[in-house]
Structure 1
Amino acid sequence: MLKQRVLTALVLLMLLLPTLWVRPAWPFIALMGVAVVAAAWEWARLNGLASSPAIGFAVLVGAGMALFAGAGAVQGAPLLWWGALIAWAVLGALTLAAGVGRWPRRPQGLRLALGAGMLWVAWLALAHARVQGVNFLLSLLCIVWAADIAAYFGGRAFGRRKLAPTISPGKSWEGVYSGMLGVLLLALLWITIDPRLGEPASSVFSRLHIALGWVGLALALVFLTALSVMGDLFESLVKRSAGAKDSSGLLPGHGGVLDRFDALLPVLPAALALCSLGSLK
């Protein structure tokens, strides 16, 4: 299993890294579009569509992204980011509170529409972040990666109190707190390094610091880490309701694309919404 995970990770890096270091943003945007189409197929399968209709659903999601990109509209708008943030904070919390058994009872069309919407917004947020610059994009992604890594090790070392045993038995409150601490430490390090990269406000951490101050930055990062946990739990709830361990087997050793995207789905638009506060100063 470890060998499989490593090989898959290396292949993914070989695909991703060239799109980060070339000047035009479209290769990265296109690659993320392919990933989102795969995630849309997984979402459709998890929510009851058979193979052919699931492919059709994924194609529709991809066609919508292609039309949007073709029109040059990959910048997004603060209103969209704030709408997504509020939707995740409210609907995500209500869905988790309702539990695993309630999700399949919701109309299938509604579940599919929600999936298409959250994937489309996440793709648009990734496109917007790439246009802002590689440092901004990587710092945004690292919020989730740092939270996940710190939560894993903190949970293993100190985990006692289960966070959501009926949804994801392995998660603990101590892991969540460790993830928050890890993100805060990463932010301090990144803000220190930013001026040496040529543009002091080029990362999401520096922009949040300028917009909100130190206290606001800390609160924003704690909130974003909490959202990353919500995204993870939300996908776990959907998988558990479908009786699935992974969203698919597309990524050997890692599960599916949604398994790698889940925590990013709420964090991406929320971080952009919070960064937009800087324009109000």
Structure 2
Amino acid sequence: MLGQRIVTAVILLAVLAAAMISANPWWFVALLALAAACANWEWLRLTLPQPPSPLISVGVAVLLFAGMLALTSAWLAGDRGGVADPVWALRYVTPAVAAVWLFAGVAAVVRGRADAPPASLGWSVFSVPAAFAAWAVLAQMFMARGAGFVVSLLALVWVADIAAYFAGRAFGRRKLAPRVSPGKTIEGAIAGVLGAVVWIGLSSLWAGTFGHALVERWTFWLALPIAALLGVLSIVGDLFESLLKRRAGRKDSSTLLPGHGGVYDRIDAILPVAPFALLLSGVLF
């Protein structure tokens, strides 16, 4: 299993790096679209009734992917009028998605109703704008600010996750959400949030990073609590997916990534973080 995880991780990193350094930005934005569509398919597999979920989940994901590719081509071609105008995605869809995460998503995680029926029309419908908003934010950030900016934002989630994992194993005693994810601890969560704060503090020293953009807008000392908020949201995203999987009786969202589970398992924390990262940094407004 460990060997399989390593091979998959190396391949994914190689593909990601190649797309990022490509002279044509279309490849990286399209890769983001593929990840968002796969995560949407996996989410719907957890929240739609069985059957007819296979057909519906595949159909919705394919349509979402096609729509994102069409927008990618339009944005890169400079055609930003009508439905291709990114303003509607960034100024209207993104705040709405952020509000749902903040109020409904956090509430669902806090309640921790893992014994509730898996089928949920509301969460199924929300899966589409949630995946789309995260993609639109990262795609626009990449096209406007470059690969380094996007990586520095994604690194916040990665650092928080790694810090939470190792601190939880070393010092974890008190369960964070035992009914949702028994392995997560309060100590690990605190370490994850602190990791996000430290990362933003350090990365703010380099121009062209997400941390630097936060400090430019809010000052260094205000950027740190914002980083803590984003760290908390990354934990919410992780626990939310765990809640959906527990309700559906699944260990992983899918088996698309050998040794790692599904795409949603890899980007669950990014879905709620990306909209708030845009709204709090204001880099595209």
Return the alpha-carbon distance in structure 2 between the equivalents of residues 161 and 230 of structure 1: 17
- Report what 1:141 is aligned to: 154
- Asked if the contact 2:234–2:270 (Cα under 8 Å) also holds between the matched residues in 1, the reply is yes
- Asked if the contact 2:256–2:262 (Cα under 8 Å) also holds between the matched residues in 1, the reply is yes
The CA deviation string for residues 193-229 of structure 1, in whole angstroms up to 9 with x for no partner, is x1xxxxx2x1110111111112211110000000000
The CA deviation string for residues 51-101 of structure 1, in whole angstroms up to 9 with x for no partner, is 333221211222332333344245743444333322211111122234223
Structure showing greater relative contact order (alpha-carbon pairs closer than 8 Å, 6 or more residues apart): 1
Correspondences of 1:112-127 after superposition (within 5 Å)? 112-127=124-139
Q: Structure 2: which amino acid aligns with 1:58?
A: A
Return the alpha-carbon distance in structure 2 between the equivalents of residues 181 and 53 of structure 1: 40
Return the alpha-carbon distance in structure 2 between the equivalents of residues 46 and 147 of structure 1: 25
TM-score by length of 1: 0.90
Correspondences of 1:66-105 after superposition (within 5 Å)? 66-72=69-75, 73=84, 76-98=89-111, 99-102=113-116, 104=118
Q: Structure 1: which amino acid aligns with 2:59?
A: G
- Asked if the contact 1:167–1:233 (Cα under 8 Å) also holds between the matched residues in 2, the reply is yes
- Report what 2:190 is aligned to: 177
- Asked if the contact 1:249–1:256 (Cα under 8 Å) also holds between the matched residues in 2, the reply is yes
Provide closer, same or farther for how the CA distance between residues 273 and 150 of structure 1 changes in structure 2, counting only shifts above 3 A: same
Match of 2:233 among 206, 211, 227: 227
Q: Structure 1: which amino acid aligns with 2:62?
A: V
1:21 has 2:6 as partner: no
The CA deviation string for residues 10-36 of structure 1, in whole angstroms up to 9 with x for no partner, is 111121111111233211011111122
Q: Which runs of no fewer than 5 residues in structure 1 stay unpaired?
A: 195-199
Structure 1 residue runs of 4+, over 6 Å off? none
- Asked if the contact 2:38–2:263 (Cα under 8 Å) also holds between the matched residues in 1, the reply is yes
* Residue aligned with 1:24, SS: coil
Provide closer, same or farther for how the CA distance between residues 105 and 36 of structure 1 changes in structure 2, counting only shifts above 3 A: closer
Match of 2:67 among 59, 64, 67: 64
- Asked if the contact 2:168–2:185 (Cα under 8 Å) also holds between the matched residues in 1, the reply is yes
Percent identity between the aligned chains?
Answer: 40
Provide closer, same or farther for how the CA distance between residues 56 and 77 of structure 1 changes in structure 2, counting only shifts above 3 A: closer
1:267 has 2:273 as partner: yes
- Asked if the contact 1:208–1:278 (Cα under 8 Å) also holds between the matched residues in 2, the reply is no
- Asked if the contact 1:44–1:54 (Cα under 8 Å) also holds between the matched residues in 2, the reply is yes
- Asked if the contact 2:278–2:284 (Cα under 8 Å) also holds between the matched residues in 1, the reply is no
- Report what 1:257 is aligned to: 263
- Report what 2:123 is aligned to: 111
Provide closer, same or farther for how the CA distance between residues 103 and 277 of structure 1 changes in structure 2, counting only shifts above 3 A: farther
Return the alpha-carbon distance in structure 2 between the equivalents of residues 254 and 236 of structure 1: 14
Match of 1:188 among 201, 208, 221: 201
Provide closer, same or farther for how the CA distance between residues 67 and 149 of structure 1 changes in structure 2, counting only shifts above 3 A: same
- Report what 2:243 is aligned to: 237
Return the alpha-carbon distance in structure 1 between the equivalents of residues 261 and 214 of structure 2: 33
Return the alpha-carbon distance in structure 2 between the equivalents of residues 79 and 92 of structure 1: 19
Return the alpha-carbon distance in structure 2 between the equivalents of residues 70 and 133 of structure 1: 17
- Asked if the contact 2:152–2:211 (Cα under 8 Å) also holds between the matched residues in 1, the reply is yes
Higher deviation after alignment, 172-181 or 249-258: 172-181
Return the alpha-carbon distance in structure 2 between the equivalents of residues 256 and 30 of structure 1: 18
TM-score by length of 2: 0.88
Residues paired across the two proteins, number: 270
